[in-house]
Amino acid sequence: GQQVMQIPQYQHVQEGEDFTTYCNSSTTLSNIQWYKQRPGGHPVFLIQLVKSGEVKKQKRLTFQFGEAKKNSSLHITATQTTDVGTYFCAGSQGGSEKLVFGKGTKLTVNP
Amino acid sequence: NAGVTQTPKFQVLKTGQSMTLQCAQDMNHEYMSWYRQDPGMGLRLIHYSVGAGITDQGEVPNGYNVSRSTTEDFPLRLLSAAPSQTSVYFCASSKPGQAQTQYFGPGTRLLVL
């Protein structure tokens, strides 16, 4: 079945450093979504990418979808303590509505 | 709008007990799903529903039952709880079709002794 791998599992940075998490699928995705889960909270939608090679920005966050639609990345520039949490990618395949989530990258930021 | 609500927030069960985790949404979303979250395992789909009267299995359905009698409600039933079902359970809803944002509830933390 469809698998979505996400690396790294953990990332610890100093405040102000950049951060990147990568997501890879075993199959071509029709779209990919990114979610953020704060400690003790629930996942919250950040963004969705649909087109091959698409790049979207939200302030300090940059999201990319690979040309083959099998991989994606989330890059945070100059991390802040408010960026702490676990970032998940989730993709769907073909005509399916089901989302398959990566295992997430837990980001901690040292002030 | 309350969004997606889940009850209870926290529950302790003994092995073999049964219980129902409640999930409701007031956004008129047709698609609803249940996930469990375990450390290092991400979010795994248990069951989902594309509309009232329609349910299907996800990645880890064993030990769980669901039903969807109304658009608003999607309860998850544990018929005979096992320690392996200790987890955080999230309900989510979305509009029908692909590439739709999933709205998650606050979660239910379940401990099975």
Q: How confident is the model at residue B99 (pLDDT cuts 50, 70, 90)?
A: low
Nearest to B41 among A41, A97, A103 (CB): A103
Token pair recorded at residue A58: 């939200």
A17 burial type by CB count under 10 A (0-12 exposed, 13-18 middle, 19+ buried):
middle
Q: Would the CB atoms of A97 and B97 count as touching at under 8 Å?
A: yes
Please tell me whether residue B8 adopts helix, strand or coil conformation: coil
Token pair recorded at residue A72: 């994606």
Which percentage of chain B shows pLDDT scores above 90? 88
pLDDT in tens, A41-80: 999 999 999 999 999 999 999 999 999 999 999 999 999 9
Residue B25, number of CB atoms within 10 A of its CB: 24
pLDDT in tens, B3-31: 999 999 999 999 999 999 999 999 999 99
Contact B103, B33 (CB under 8 A): no
- Is pLDDT of A33 > 80? yes
Which string of DSSP letters, residue by residue, matches B56-98?
Answer: EE-SS-TTEEE--SSSSB--EEESS--GGG-EEEEEEEE-SSS
Q: Would the CB atoms of B98 and A9 count as touching at under 8 Å?
A: no
- Partners of B40 on chain A (C-beta within 8 Å) are 9, 103
Q: How far is B13 from chain A (nearest CA, A)?
A: 21
Q: Would the CB atoms of A96 and B97 count as touching at under 8 Å?
A: no
CA angle A9, A55, A6 (to 5 degrees): 15
- Partners of A90 on chain B (C-beta within 8 Å) are 43, 102
Alpha-carbon distances of B26 from B68, B73, B95, B105, rounded to whole Å: 15, 9, 12, 12
Contact A101, A32 (CB under 8 A): no
Q: Would the CB atoms of A103 and B101 count as touching at under 8 Å?
A: no
Q: Would the CB atoms of A31 and B97 count as touching at under 8 Å?
A: no
For an interface test with B, give the residue of A6, A23, A101, A105 to mutate (most B CBs within 10 A).
A101
Q: Would the CB atoms of B42 and A102 count as touching at under 8 Å?
A: yes
Nearest to B43 among A41, A88, A97 (CB): A88
- Partners of B101 on chain A (C-beta within 8 Å) are 33, 45, 48
Q: How confident is the model at residue B98 (pLDDT cuts 50, 70, 90)?
A: low
Q: In chain B, which residues touch A (CB < 8 A)?
A: 31, 33, 35, 40-45, 48, 50, 58-59, 90, 94, 96-107
Which string of DSSP letters, residue by residue, matches chain A?
Answer: ---EEEE-SEEEEETT--EEEEEEESS--SEEEEEEE-TTS--EEEEEE-STT-EEEETTEEEEE-TTSSEEEEEESS--GGG-EEEEEEEE-TT----EE---EEEEEE-
Report strand pairing: A44-49 vs A10-14: unpaired
